[in-house]
Amino acid sequence: MVRTIDWVDGAVEIIDQTELPARTVTRRLSTVDELVAAIRALAVRGAPALGVAGALGVALAARQYRDAALAGAVHRLETARPTAVNLARGVRRAAARLADGPDAVLAEALAVRDEEIASSAAMAARGADLVTELCGPAPRLLTHCNTGGLATVVGGTALGVIAELHRRGALGGVVASETRPLLQGARLTAWELGQLGVAYQVAVDGAGPFLMARGMVDAVIVGADRICANGDVVNKVGTYAHALGAQRAGIPFLVVAPESTVDASTPTGGDVEIEDRPADEVFAFGGRRVVPDGAAAINPAFDITPHDLVTAIVTDRRTLRPPY
C-alpha cells in the first residue's frame, strides 16, 4: 500500500489529495515552505496525517535552518492550519529533539509516523473482529466521509477496518456516502476503495437511511473528529442522520478513532462548538454555481451523534460499549 506521506531520500513525499481522483500525483517536498504550502492547500489532510507532516517538517527544518531561522520555520509549521491539534502536537514532539541534532529529530518524526501506522493497524484488527462478531461473515457496510490511509499514513480508521475485512475475505460490500458538500466520500473514499480492489457503490447522503431500511446495509462504520466524555460523537455533517437510520433499522452504528480523539475534558456534544463554513462550499459544483443569485446557505461542517445511537467505539487500545 502506498503511504499518503513519508520520508524518502531526505525529503517529504505526499500523495497530492487535491489532484484525486483524476490523477495520482506524488509530490516531493524538499523545503519547509513547500510543505507548509501543501498543508495549507489541503494537498495533505486528515488529523493523523497532519501530525506526521508536522513532525517530518521539523526534520526538514533541522537540515535547512539554524538558530532564529530554525525557530521561525518550526513556528510556520506549527501554525500552518489552526484546527487540528495533531499538527502542532507532531511539530512539538519532533522539535523537542532539536538540541540533539538533525538525525535525532528525524528519528523522532519517523517514530510519530510509525506509531500512526501501528495505531491504524490496531484499530483495523480490533474493528474487523468486532464487525464480524456483530454482523457475521459477509457484512455490507456503509461509511461516511473519508477515513482511510489518506487521512492517516496508511490504513485509516473506519476505512482501515473495511480494508482489513476485505483482506480477511469477510466483507460483503461497501456503500460510500458521497459526503456533501466537499465530497470526501465520492472523491477520496471511492479512490481508496478502488486502490484496494474493494467493490463499492457511491450513494447520495440522503439515501443512506433508506438503504438501511431496505435491508441493503448491515452496519454503519464511521470515524470521529472528537469523542466526548459521555460518548457523544462529533463527526462530519451527515453522520447523525446515518446514525438515526441505523437505529431505526436495528443495525450497529460503529465509530473507529484513535485514542487521541477521545476528549474526556468535553462532557457532551452540546459543549462542542460546531464550525459553520462558507455558503460557497454548498453552491459550487465543478466550478459551476447552481443556485440562484442571492441564495444563502447554512453549512455546519460537523454534527453530533448522541451516545445512545452509538453501538460501540473502537480505538487503537479499547473497544468501548454503552454505558460510556
- What residue ranges bind a copy of itself (CB under 8 A)? 21, 175, 177-181, 183, 186-187, 190-191, 194, 199-211, 213-214, 216, 237-241, 244-245, 248, 279, 282-288, 290-292, 294-300, 303-304
Decide: helix, strand or coil at residue 217. coil
Which of 306, 288, 223 is closest to 257 using CA atoms?
A: 223
Whole-number Å distance between alpha carbons of 72 and 3: 28
Contacts of 290 (CB under 8 A, 6+ apart): 283
Q: Which of 218, 225, 303, 316 is catalytic?
A: 225
Q: Answer whether 62's CB lies under 8 Å from 74's CB.
A: no
Which of 271, 295, 269 is closest to 283 using CA atoms?
A: 295
Least Å from the CB of residue 3 to a copy of itself: 19
Least Å from the CB of residue 10 to a copy of itself: 32
Side-chain half-sphere CA neighbours of 129 within 13 A: 11
Residue keyed to cell 519517523:
110
Residue keyed to cell 484525486:
20
Least Å from the CB of residue 75 to a copy of itself: 29
Least Å from the CB of residue 240 to a copy of itself: 5
Least Å from the CB of residue 172 to a copy of itself: 14
CA 200 to chain centre: 19
Identify whether 6 is a catalytic site residue: no
C-alpha cell at 217: 446495509
DSSP 8-class letter at 273 = P
* Residue 59 vs 203, nearer CB to a copy of itself: 203
Q: Answer whether 276's CB lies under 8 Å from 299's CB.
A: yes
* Residue 161 vs 176, nearer CB to a copy of itself: 176
For residue 130, the surrounding DSSP H or E stretch is helix 102-135
Whole-number Å distance between alpha carbons of 106 and 6: 12
Whole-number Å distance between alpha carbons of 80 and 265: 25
DSSP 252-281: -EEEE--GGGEETT--SGGGSPPPBPPTHH
* Residue 97 vs 242, nearer CB to a copy of itself: 242
- The residues annotated as belonging to the active site are 225
